[in-house]
Structure 1
Amino acid sequence: MLSNLRIGTKIGASFALALTMLSTIGLVSYRNTTQLIDSARQENHSYQVITELEDLKSRIKDAETGQRGYLLTGDQRYLEPYNSAITVIEKNINDLRQLTSDNPSQQSRIASLEPLVNRRIALIQQTLALRETQGFDAALQVVLTNEGKDLMDRIRLILADMEVEERELLQQRSQLAQAATQQTIYTILFGIPLAFGTLILIAYFLSKNISQPLAEVSVVATKLAAGDLFVSVPEQNRQDEVGVLTRAFNQMIASLRITTLKNNEQAWLKSNLAKFAVMLQGQRDIEKVAESVLAELAPSVNAQHGVFYIMDASDEKPVLRLLSSYAHQEQTPQQFQLGEGLVGQCALTQQKILLTEVPSNYIRISSGLGEATPQSVIVLPIVFNSKITAVIELASLQQLSELQLTFLEQASDNLAIVLNTIASDTRTQQLLQRSQALTTELQAQQEELRNSNYRLEQQQQELQQTNEELQQLNEELEERSELLSARNQEVERKNQEVDQARQSLEAKATELEQISQYKSQFLANMSHELRTPLNSLLILAKLLADNTAGNLTDKQVEYSRTIYASGKDLLGLINDILDLAKIESGTMSVDINPLTLTDIRVNIERTFEQVAQDKGLEFSVEFARDRLPDVIYTDGKRLQQVLKNLLANAFKFTEQGQVRFKIDIATQGWDLKQESLNRADTVIAFAVEDTGIGIAQDKHKLIFAAFQQADGTTNRKYGGTGLGLSISREIARLLGGDIQLVSRLGEGSTFTLYLPLNDTGIRDQRALAQSYGSEARERQEDKRNEELFPRSSSPAPRPFLQDDRNAIQQGDRTLLIVEDDLNFARVLLDMVQQHGFKVLLAQNSNDGLLLAQQFQPNGIMVDINLPDLDSSALLERLQQHPQTKNVPVHTISGREYFTYSLSPGAIAYVQKPVNSQALAKVLADIKEIAAHQVKKLLIVEDNAAQRQNVIELIENKGVKVTAVGTGAEALVALQQHHFDCLILDLGLPDMSGFELIQVIKQQYSNELPIIIYTGQELTPQEETELKRIAQAIVIKDRQQGSVQLGVSLERLLDETALFLHRVQANLPTPQRHEPPTQSDRLLTGKHVLIVDDDVRNIFALTSVLERYQMQVLFAENGKAGIALLEQTPIDIVLMDVMMPEMNGYETMQAIRAKDQFQSLPIIALTAKAMVGDREKCIAAGASDYITKPVDIEQLLSLMRVWLYQ
């Protein structure tokens, strides 16, 4: 029943179940947590009541103590406990009344307690007054009445009752807290595993019901594209989209199979008829015709025996005489009368005779190995103009098909025409010979005419007879001419049929080519659909893995790297499939260049030495330098691909022992069918030997097939797609070479790549020209990246001058100086130390970066001209590192590099020569920045009540809040003060929140963090725009009470805390939230337009480009992109190809059609990577082309190149 549900219903129901379960767990956890918090508050309340009770009792005792001391001594100093107690007793009673306001019984006790306490205090005051006025005895008389003692006993009793009740309440609340804690533990222990189990079952259900059937359809589609018409998708009794697709696909295959079989039959029939007609053309010898006919007809219809009888009408009684035979036997009859036997009967009735159940003693078809009875016998008449001319009899060990019978009937018509033509020619020849004889005879008669008139008359009669015969001969000649004309018409008709057959074959070839195009288009579409989500996944995973904000844990960074690596693996698989498709379709090109073998050896050593060390294997490279040439002519990129694949497999399947790579001259070993190697003067062998698991002999051919492995079982130990060796062998053949394998199971393997030394006709100059520019750019980018981001884990460098690195203590102010001039560095060292700073000295950029990361100084001074790396690159690296991105940097220059020196990350610059005043100002700035702690927050909210709630929630001693109600007031506040964060409501009375953000970005600060706090519904377009220009979006609660704190306020508090404290070095890592911006002179401030219909790609690319301080606009289709171009100045456009309404090709053509956009740089972004896609993009108007998933470094490099031009 579940199989009949639609795919959307299945997915929706699965996610609904998962969300329901997770929501239930969340609600239970929330309820338990709330109960714990409430229990803790009530316990604390009970403790406060008990404390107040004890304090009240103590204060009353202090009053009595002061009374006794004064009564006994009369000294006023003994009244100090009494005086201090009197001032707080009333407060204690009020506090108790307020704390127990929810307890009626306690309120009743307090009502009884308060007059007793007041009476006791009054009695004490009375005795003190008597002691002071009348003396000790008078006061003693009051004390001896025991009224004070009675009052105190009653007070103690009431206080004790209150404390007992509070302790009972405390015990009950503790028990409730323990129960809530236990429920929380049970929720975690049982709810989360249950949720994970449910999610796993849902994933299994979706995979089984959707992915597996679609995979079966994909496999069948691949076989069908390869030409296999006898495949089918297993029928599934299900009514969803998969079932409908399966049935429609099988019906399509059946229709295609029937059509193809019919076309094949017609093509076979017409091609054999055409061949038969061509064979009969020009034949004049009837015996040769008979032999040729039998020799052609018998194999064509799978006949093993045949005879050819010709009609002989020379006698009075016509007979059929044996003219030729196929597989002749001695007992074959030589002639038949009309009506005699099947041959005579066929000639008599002029109808074919077909025997399908031949008796065993009828005829035997024999060979050297044995004999057998035929399954079918056909007697075929050859009729022309209703006259029998010949009979053909054929015997076959198989039943004749309808197609074969049709062929025999049509072939007999052609044969009848040819036989009639030959007979006519024979008769004409005989008549000509007779005419010549008669002419000779007439001449003789004319000679005899002189001698005898009788003979002359006789001759005249004979001449008259001869004339009559000649007239008859002329009539026969005319008839022959008509027959020849008919024959020519028949030949023309046959030629037309041959031409139709040729056209049918061409149509079939076109159909096969179209199927191949469908396959290529399918692969291209598959590449697009996979590359589009991969683009966002790889970009965002890379951003997370870099952790430039420093707000991720090590485990989260590791997760991000795993996602990025998995995405790269998937991209590699897609590229392998596309490479295989290019090879199969013959569209993969090679770029022939001279390549030094030494470079190959060095590259292999550098690539795989670390791999060998990690696996504990011995790795060696053997290079026959004395025999090898210096240069080989081949495609270096493809060669490296093959060699790295072979070596990667060797390390993959070798657990212990060694891997050896050898380059040498070879004279044999390759497949002799490889003519390019046979013709080559010199062959180079690249051998990869390992001591791994080896390959069984019966698997040697299997592993070179696509998607095949030596171990293809479900429990195999080694993963992989099985494409590597298949692609490697095909690339080797493209390069004119071959790959051979020598291996035995358990004894290791040797893969050898054989390549010709010189170019053997496989050079592709066009591909060479196309690839040169891109490869040069890639090499340039690789070099730049290597210089900009060197991998170093070395310890702090040794100082080139004695500095304070070994004397730095906790709390010291430190300054890092990066200066290569020894004398100037010494001067700066002395001057800075005089201002109370500890100094760190570095002579180059790498040393400076290591010292900054290790000591995290309060400030850095950097010289512009450094020997190893320019200061802009060093500043960029400092900004990217979370430990150094917030350290203030001052640059030092001998010239006026004002603009350059502040890029990127420098807060000021100092011009040489540096004087003491300038240095003092720099150090004062550093001290002020280090001491600056209070953060300033601006709140823009038109609702006064909500504005006050936010102020009360956030304001504290570390945050100074300024709150305004309109956009104009906000702009005034920004003009007068510097703020660290802005909370903004979109619905303002004088302007919209979007307009205010635009003004702030343009006039004040592009770096101010903005948190949107709004209650209005956002459209998808508005939400996308806000995510691009704001740091966070918090939606207000629908109903927010004045006492109860809403969920949205809690989230607002969290978001604000992150941004207000993002630059505090002493905060925990997760609070360092601000992503560092990177400055690039060619990118900073440039306006880039992204035209893409996928919001994920827009978000990913915008996140990257805004780090380089670029102004990003976006459009979700081509029409919107053109409209934005006409309204806003744009420096460069990133154009997606696959879009609705107007695709990328049409958009670029429309843009280029406008004169003002002729030189606008446009970089095409496409997930299609098939042959010709780059040319189509360039032809449509793109300046350059890059495939998805986008390589960020490559994209930035291309943008720099085109913006520079």
Structure 2
Amino acid sequence: MRRDVQEACRRLGMSEADTVRLATVVGEVGRGLLGARALTGRLVLEEAERPRLIAEFGWSGAVRPAPDALQAAGRLLHTSRWDATPFPRLVLGQPLPVTPRPLAERAADVREELRGLAGVSMGEELRSQNRDLLAALQQARAHQEELQRLNQELEETNQGVMALYAELSSELEATNSGVVALYAELEEKTRELSLLNEAKTRFWANVSHELRSPVNGVIGLTRLLLDPGADPLTAEQAQQVHMIAGASSTMLALVEELLDVAKAESGRLEPELVPVDLRMVLHQLHGTLSGTARPGVPLVVPDVLPDSPAGPLVTDEVMLTRVLRNVLSNSLKFTEHGRVELTVDFTERAGHPWCVLTVTDTGVGIPVEEQARVFEEFYQVRGPHQRARSGTGLGLPYARRLTELLGGRMMLDSAPGAGTTVTVEIPSGTAPRPGDPAGGGPRLERVVLVDDDPVFRTTVRPALAQLAREVTEVGVSAQAIAVIRRERPDAVLLDLTMPPPDGYQLLARMAEDRELDRVPVVVLTANDPSGVDSSRLVHALAVLGKTHLTTARLADVLSPVLPRPRDPGTARP
């Protein structure tokens, strides 16, 4: 393992110092683990912001790495992690130099190199270590001879120079020790800051999730109250319910912004490209934001859009709406006189279509020295203009982050007293092939919904009624298996987070049951679907978030099990 680590490091261009550190620690740890049951070792090239070479040991039994070896690994290596569960595992790693070559090609070169090496014997390993030791001794001897020569030259100088040299050497040694100590302290502070940032991201995600679940329930209940088929409301009641729905939607948008910032920082927020009716998006934004403008400050959006050279705009509609809403609301907030105007233009770059949206205001403007900082999270430009204007300082940073996720860029040009211009440029991608529409199509016979939240069951009930002739609801997860076995449904909708047994456990029981292992299961979660343990959900048909769950989305996921239209008289397959 030590020999392979050395060869891999050199092949990948790692510095000699990092190579020696990783190979030495691997050798020491491996020697301490020899004799452990089922001991394995492997080398992995890990894809990250900066690729890393990972040496991983795994074994079983009560053997543990020596504490001094773990301490040395923590001091010498960039990555050192010891896990006791679910099985003993030790991960050691160093970062690799960044090159334009893809990581897969570099891995293939290293794999081919290691395959060509002969087997390792104790004699060969000892000879390799002896060669390293001889090389170190030769280098030390050369240094010693050089020191002797310098000493001879120094002896030929006067005593004053010798005293000065000794004094300078002493000061230099003390300075080096201080620099080393400072470097170690900086590394420790960097790790602490990284841990704090991760904790902040987890906090945002957890708080946003806990807030989003009840807000979703409020929005769903208001929709049921306002549904044309519901019991009629008085005019005052309808107005109050509309106010509740509007406030709930605003609160949900703020909560989702926090959640999206957390997901974007962790790299788990991905755009969903669909054809977007840009004119309708701008119309809705105009209707929503016009009421927030100051008296006499109009919000101007185009009624007629220029022709796009590549057809309709294809992007993530939700992300684009949030970008424009944040930019427009920011302009309206700080514009007391004049106007706020949004213009749209389409262009081509290197044969690809782009959409350019420009927001111009006549507001207070931003000083040049502050323009870079307005894209920092929670930062707000201080001054008299902040009076009576509340905000979190997340609007522009969040909008820029979403723009970058869409593959575009955001630029800002401003001057105090002359207003601000924000330009958003995004590419128009290729739309995925749309699925079959949900309305008016074939329906399933039976569906079982397993969820302990009565509010969610109430809000999703109308959507399920359009997909299935009979819907059975289970609010106690312990009864789910018995109900599913009795009903023999065409599909099961299963909540992930419930009192035991939770969704993971119920799905595992169904997979082990010969009578139920072929029943399609759609997993529902109020958490971010990309953050669930997918290794435990391999038997699920799909994993959907509860937010914005619609009949069309459910129909698209359940399309493989929906009955197909057939000619009269044709036997059902």
Query: What band does the TM-score fall into relative to the shorter chain?
Result: 0.5 to 0.7
1:572 correspondence with 2:348:
no
Query: What is the CA distance between 1:651 and its match in structure 2?
Result: 4.4
Correspondence 1:1165 to 2:524:
yes
Are the structure 2 counterparts of residues 288 and 590 from structure 1 closer, same or farther at C-alpha, using a change threshold of 3 Å?
Answer: farther
- Distance of 1:279 and 1:580 partners within structure 2: 51
Q: Which residue of 2 aligns with 1:705?
A: 376
Verify the 8 A CA contact 1:1174 1:1185 in the aligned structure 2.
no
Task: Pick the aligned partner of 2:244 from 558, 563, 567.
Answer: 563
Q: Deviations over 1:1091-1140 (max 9, x none)?
A: 22334434555588679996554434543201221233434422110122
Q: Which residue of 2 aligns with 1:582?
A: 263
| More displaced 10-residue stretch of structure 1: 1118-1127 or 707-716 | 707-716
SS of the residue corresponding to residue 742 of structure 1 reads strand
Partners of 1:1101 and 1:625 lie apart in 2 by 40
**Is residue 1140 of structure 1 aligned with residue 496 of structure 2?**
no
Ranges in structure 2 where 5+ consecutive residues have no aligned partner = 1-70, 79-93, 95-133, 565-573
Whichever structure has more strand as a proportion of its residues is: 2
Distance (Å, rounded) in 1 between the aligned partners of 2:395 and 2:135: 51
Q: Letter of the aligned partner of 2:546 in structure 1? A: K
Partner of 1:1082 in structure 2? 443
Higher relative contact order (CA 8 A, sep 6+): 2
**Secondary structure, counterpart of 1:588 in structure 2:** coil
**Equivalent in the alignment of 1:753:** 424
- What CA distance in whole angstroms lies between the structure 1 residues aligned with 2:200 and 2:547? 22
CA, structure 1 residues 691+543, in 2 after alignment: closer, same or farther (shift >3 Å)?
Answer: same
Q: Is the 8 A contact 2:466 2:551 kept in 1?
A: no
CA deviations 1:170-194 (Å, max 9, x no partner) are xxxxxxxxxxxxxxxxxxxxxxxxx
Deviation of 1:592 (Å): 7.2
Q: Which has the higher helix share?
A: 1
Q: How does 1:815-834 map to 2 (within 5 A)?
A: none
- What is the aligned partner in structure 2 of residue 1125 from structure 1? 484
Deviation of the 1:572 alpha carbon: 1.9
Q: Deviations over 1:765-810 (max 9, x none)?
A: xxx8xx947xx35x956xx6xxxxxxxxxxxxxxxxxxxxxxxxxx
Partner residue, 1:1182: 540
Note if 1:554 corresponds to 2:386: no
* 2:260 counterpart SS class: helix
> Quick one: which of 307, 322, 345 aligns to 2:154?
322
Cα distance in structure 1, aligned partners of 2:388 and 2:137: 67
> Could you tell me which residue of structure 2 aligns to residue 695 of structure 1?
366
Which of 399, 405, 408 does residue 728 from structure 1 map onto? 399
Compute the RMSD of aligned alpha carbons.
5.5
> In structure 2, how many angstroms separate the alpha carbons of the residues matched to 1:1140 and 1:709?
43
Check the 8 A contact 2:289/2:329 in 1, yes or no.
no
Larger radius of gyration, structure 1 or 2?
1
Query: Closer, same or farther in 2 for the Cα pair 1:662/1:559, shift >3 Å?
Result: closer
Matches within 5 A, 1:512-523: 522-523=203-204
The offset of 1:575, in angstroms, is: 2.2
Q: Specify the alignment match of 2:170 in structure 1.
A: 394
Deviates more, 1:1183-1192 or 1:572-581: 1183-1192
Shift of 1:1144: 0.8
**Change in 2 beyond 3 A, CA 1:707/1:278:** farther
- Candidates 444, 453, 466, aligned match of 1:1094: 453
Call closer, same or farther: CA 1:741–1:1171 in 2, change over 3 Å: same
SS of residue matched to 1:1171: helix
Any residues of structure 2 matched to 1:304-703 within 5 Å, and which?
310=151, 322=154, 333=160, 393-395=169-171, 522-546=203-227, 548-550=229-231, 552-590=233-271, 602-603=279-280, 605-608=282-285, 610=287, 617=298, 619-621=300-302, 629-630=309-310, 635-637=315-317, 638-639=319-320, 641-654=322-335, 657-663=338-344, 685-703=356-374
User: Contact 2:331–2:361 (CA<8 Å) still a contact in 1?
Assistant: yes
Question: Aligned match of 1:1191 in 545, 549, 553?
Answer: 549
Q: Which runs of 5+ in 1 are unaligned?
A: 1-260, 272-276, 292-307, 313-320, 325-329, 336-342, 344-362, 366-376, 379-391, 408-500, 668-676, 760-767, 785-872, 874-1079
**CA distance 1:1081–1:735, shift in 2 (3 Å):** closer
Rounded to whole Å, the distance in 2 between the matches of 1:662 and 1:281 is: 72
CA contact (8 A) 1:1093 1:1117 kept: yes
Contact 1:732 1:739 in 2 (8 A): yes
Q: How far off its partner does 1:699 sit?
A: 3.9
Structure 2: how far apart are the matches of 1:613 and 1:1171?
Answer: 35
User: Any conservation in 2 of the 1:1114–1:1121 contact (CA below 8 Å)?
Assistant: no
Q: Contact between 2:443 and 2:468, CA under 8 Å: does it hold in 1?
A: no
Q: Contact 2:403 / 2:424 at 8 angstroms: preserved in 1?
A: yes
SS of 2:396's partner is helix
Letter in 1 for 2:396: L
| Number of equivalent positions | 432
- 8 Å CA contact 1:1082–1:1204 kept in 2: the answer is yes
Indicate the residue corresponding to 2:388 in structure 1. Answer: 717
Deviations along 1:1124-1182, one digit per CA (max 9) or x if unpaired, are 212334344221101222221221232233344345343322011153539568x4433
- Hey, what's the Cα distance between the residues in 2 that align with 1:733 and 1:1121? 44
* Cα pair distance change 1:564/1:751, threshold 3 Å: same
User: 2:65 maps to what in 1?
Assistant: none
1:839-863 per-residue CA deviation (whole Å, 9 max, x = no partner) reads xxxxxxxxxxxxxxxxxxxxxxxxx
Q: Render the CA deviation track for 1:260-304: whole Å, top value 9, x for unaligned.
A: x99997779xx9xxxxx999964775599449xxxxxxxxxxxxx
Alpha-carbon distance in structure 1 between the residues aligned to 2:529 and 2:147 = 57
Post-superposition shift, 1:696? 4.3
Counterpart residue identity of residue 414, structure 2: S
Normalised to the residue count of structure 1, the TM-score between the two structures is: 0.30
Does residue 1:1151 correspond to 2:510, yes or no? yes
Structure 1 1162/609 Cα, relative in aligned 2: closer, same or farther at 3 Å?
Answer: same
Q: CA deviation at 1:566?
A: 2.7
Partner of residue 951, structure 1: none
Question: Take 2:290 and 2:208, find their aligned partners in 1: how far apart are those partners?
Answer: 36
Q: Percent of counterpart pairs with the same letter? A: 25
Name the CA shift for 1:574/1:266 in 2 (closer, same or farther; >3 Å): same
| Aligned counterparts of 1:612 and 1:404: Cα–Cα separation in 2 | 56
Displacement of 1:527 in angstroms is: 4.3
Which letter does structure 2 place at the counterpart of 1:1146?
Answer: Q
Distance 1:1105 1:740, change over 3 A: closer
The answer for the alignment partner of 1:160 in structure 2 is none
User: C-alpha distance in 1, partners of 2:413/2:370?
Assistant: 11
Q: Secondary structure at the match of 1:1140?
A: coil
Alignment CA distance shift 1:753-1:265 (3 Å) = same
Judge conservation of contact 2:309–2:346 (CA < 8 Å) in 1. Answer: no
Change (3 A) 1:278 1:538: farther
Q: Given that residues 622 and 663 in structure 1 are in contact (C-alpha distance below 8 angstroms), is that contact kept between their aligned partners in structure 2?
A: no
C-alpha distance 281-1189 of structure 1, shift in aligned 2 (>3 A): farther
SS in 1 for 2:443: coil
Q: Any conservation in 1 of the 2:529–2:543 contact (CA below 8 Å)?
A: no
TM-score, length basis structure 2: 0.57
Matches of 2:468 and 2:175 in 1, distance apart? 83
Equivalent AA in structure 1 for residue 212 of structure 2: R
Q: CA separation in 2, counterparts of 1:701 and 1:1136?
A: 44
Change in Cα spacing, 1:1194 to 1:1156, as seen in structure 2 (3 Å) is: same
Q: What letter matches 1:1126 in structure 2?
A: R
Structure 1 position 689, deviation (Å) = 0.9
Letter matched to residue 242 of structure 2: R
